């Protein structure tokens, strides 16, 4: 049942370049209609994964399916159904934007009409030569190209790179619309607020290994959160008993202030303790994906040769 619904499935997907392991044993499933963010710093394996999915490079072992079809055996058919924005792409600078869209429209009906609509929406001049475009406008042309055929799945590598904030918002709106139309979007990024804004789930990859796949909210909840408390009058340290298990860490303390690191599930206890104290101010910001991301990147790199998936959220 789940297999039929998956937009992307990989089975032990591995890519090595000589002794360098670019991607190791990736088992990943992205459901249809989902916006999935693939997170990781440069060189972590994001682009390798995308290039494997698009059959630009071939796996050392393992395999992948897109829309239920093997990516190697059905690469040609899949290109009709999948849109792609490569990272840092370039096309012939002599072509106009419109000619570039025409080049990409072959074999798929209705593409040019949608391309012109999207170009207008992004404020892209179709008469300009690609070589004269700024990096942001070139990225817009790439985005239009990836969406112009109304693909069932769109794979985007760093899609908002070079875009100004207004166009980014336009792009986010477009992603929401596409999701509303049942399309699946798989995007790689290291812009965490963006992932937080548009993605349903994220996969985090580190040194070629998938270390977490979760819903964005769920991932944030796993993060320890900081709380800053200011007291109305001096409070002796002895009055503060956070329990013997050491779950709550005191990051900084004084007679009139306190900074705590609180794990998931301990908030209630902390609030009850503070209720008996003269609290003048309390700052407890929402956990960010960045904090969750950074916490997953703390500590040594995974060395276990087996699959590194620590947790998996519900795809629904």
Q: How far is the CB of 109 from another protein (least distance, A)?
A: 12
Both tokens of residue 267? 């908030």
Name the burial class of residue 75, with classes exposed (0-12), middle (13-18) and buried (19+) by CB atoms within 10 angstroms of its CB. middle
| Spatial separation of the C-alpha atoms in residues 228 and 241, rounded to whole Å | 16
* Minimum distance, C-beta of residue 59 to another protein, in the bound complex (Å): 10
Q: Please pick, from the candidates 26, 97, 104, 248, the single residue that binds another protein as defined by CB under 8 A.
A: 104
Smallest distance, Å, CB 46 to another protein?
A: 14
Q: How far is the CB of 131 from another protein (least distance, A)?
A: 11
Pick out residues in 17-56 that bind another protein (CB under 8 A). Answer: 51, 54, 56
Judged by beta carbon, residue 115 or residue 229, the one nearer another protein is 115
Dihedral angle over CA of 121, 127, 132, 133, nearest 10: 10
DSSP 8-state symbol, 131: G
Q: Nearer Cβ to another protein, position 140 or 225?
A: 140
Nearest CB to another protein, comparing residues 55 and 200: 55
| Interatomic CA distance for residues 45 and 109, integer angstroms | 34
Round to whole Å and give the CA distance between 108 and 106: 6
Sheet strands (E) in 146-298: 153-157, 184-189, 201-206, 209-215, 225-231, 249-253, 257-262, 279-283
Count residues binding another protein (CB under 8 A).
30
Phi and psi at residue 12, in whole multiples of 5°? 55, 35
Toward another protein, which CB reaches closer, 87 or 302?
A: 87
Task: Closer to another protein by CB, 33 or 86: give it.
Answer: 86
- Does residue 251 bind another protein (CB under 8 A)? no
CB closer to another protein, 15 vs 223: 15
- To another protein, the closest distance from the beta carbon of 16 in angstroms equals 11
* Residues contacting 181, CB < 8 A, separation 6+: none
Strands 69-70 vs 225-231: parallel, antiparallel or unpaired: unpaired
CB of 143 closer than 8 Å to CB of 117: no
Rounded least distance, CB 139 to another protein, Å? 12
- Is the separation of the CB atoms in 277 and 180 below 8 Å? no
- For the window 69-98, what string marks contact with another protein as x by the rule CB under 8 A? -------x--xx-xxx-x-xxxxx-xx---
Nearer to another protein, 186 or 293 (CB): 186
- What binding mask, one character per residue, do residues 129-148 give for another protein by CB under 8 A, x or -? -------------x--xx--
Q: Contact positions toward another protein, by CB under 8 A? A: 51, 54, 56-58, 76, 79-80, 82-84, 86, 88-92, 94-95, 99, 102-108, 142, 145-146
């Amino acid at each position: 049942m789940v297999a039929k619904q998956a937009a992307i499935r990989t089975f032990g997907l591995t890519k090595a370049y000589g002794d360098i392991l670019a991607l190791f044993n990736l088992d990943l499933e992205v459901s249809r209609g989902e916006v999935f963010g693939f997170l990781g710093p440069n060189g972590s394996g994001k682009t390798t994964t995308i290039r494997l999915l698009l059959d630009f490079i071939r796996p050392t072992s393992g395999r992948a399916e897109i829309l239920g079809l093997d990516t190697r055996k059905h690469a040609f058919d899949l290109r009709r159904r999948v849109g792609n924005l490569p990272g840092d792409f370039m096309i012939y600078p002599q072509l106009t934007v419109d000619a570039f869209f025409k080049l990409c429209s072959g074999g798929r009906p209705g593409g040019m009409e949608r391309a012109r609509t999207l170009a207008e929406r992004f404020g892209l001049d179709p008469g300009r030569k690609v070589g004269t475009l700024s990096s942001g406008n070139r990225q817009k042309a790439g985005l239009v190209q990836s969406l112009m055929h109304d693909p069932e799945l769109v794979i985007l590598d760093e899609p908002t790179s070079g875009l100004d904030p207004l166009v980014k918002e336009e792009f986010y709106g477009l992603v929401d619309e596409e999701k509303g139309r049942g399309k699946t979007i798989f995007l790689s990024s290291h812009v965490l607020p963006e992932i937080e804004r548009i993605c349903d789930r994220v996969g985090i990859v580190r040194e070629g290994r998938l270390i977490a796949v979760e819903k964005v909210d769920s991932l944030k909840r796993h993060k320890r959160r900081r709380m800053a408390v200011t007291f109305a009058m001096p409070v002796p340290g002895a009055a503060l008993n956070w329990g013997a298990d050491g779950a709550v860490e005191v990051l900084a303390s004084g007679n009139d202030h306190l900074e705590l690191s609180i794990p998931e599930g301990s908030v209630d206890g902390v609030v009850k303790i503070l209720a008996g104290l003269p609290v003048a101010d309390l700052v407890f910001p929402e956990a960010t994906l960045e904090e969750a991301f950074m916490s997953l990147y703390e500590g040594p790199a995974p060395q276990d040769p087996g699959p590194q998936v620590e947790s998996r959220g519900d795809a629904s």
